[in-house]
Amino acid sequence: MQRTTTTRRAPIAAVAATAAAAAAVLTTTANAASTTSHQARKDADGAAKPTVVLVHGGFADASASWSGVIKRLQRDGYPVIAPANPLRGLAGDAPYLASLLKSVKGPVILAGHSYGGAVITNAAAGNPNVKALVYVAAFVPAEGEQLIGLLGKYPGSEMPDAINKVPFTGPGGTTGTDIYPVAGGGLH
């Protein structure tokens, strides 16, 4: 395996290229055109291009995180959705994304950055339209593994010192913990 050094712009190009490559494989193997409420497009063979769903991680939003990737994929004719990730915990965020995915007709490629990787893993479960998962510097927890445990699991991780855990009370008295970056902690 060849290793390469990347610049800040290279990951955006890599994500777009990976998603486009996965999409190309899917469109060449598709045997029926389908439509989506998100303007399905077709390739030269008439097969529906998959919808690429881009899920941001924590401390980010969909428009800023994925803007370069969205432009490239749309330029190449792919329908793209970049939903807002509620960032209220995996138990709520994954079902939220799963419900959005139910509205998409035809093949779907999910890409997740950072925390978004765990969200796409769980949201894709049981959805036959999800054909590929793309992880971009993302969490991919093992079954039953908690994300909070992953933050300090590996030596050298600066994440535990760079976050501030803030408890909250939600509707109906439910409770949870929001995680915010510490000012100057090095997180984006």
Known catalytic residues are 114
Query: Are residues 122 and 153 in contact, defined by beta-carbon separation less than 8 angstroms?
Result: no
CA dist 54 and 110 (Å) reads 6
Contact by Cβ (8 Å): 168, 180 = no
Phi, psi angles (nearest 5°) of residue 176: -165, -175
- How far apart CA 123 and CA 83 sit, in angstroms, is 13
Helix boundaries (H) for 76-114: 90-101
Please calculate the CA angle 9-55-76 and round it to the nearest 5 degrees: 60
Within a 13 Å sphere around the CA of 143, how many CA atoms are in the beta-carbon half? Answer: 1
**φ and ψ at 121, to 5 degrees?**
-60, -50
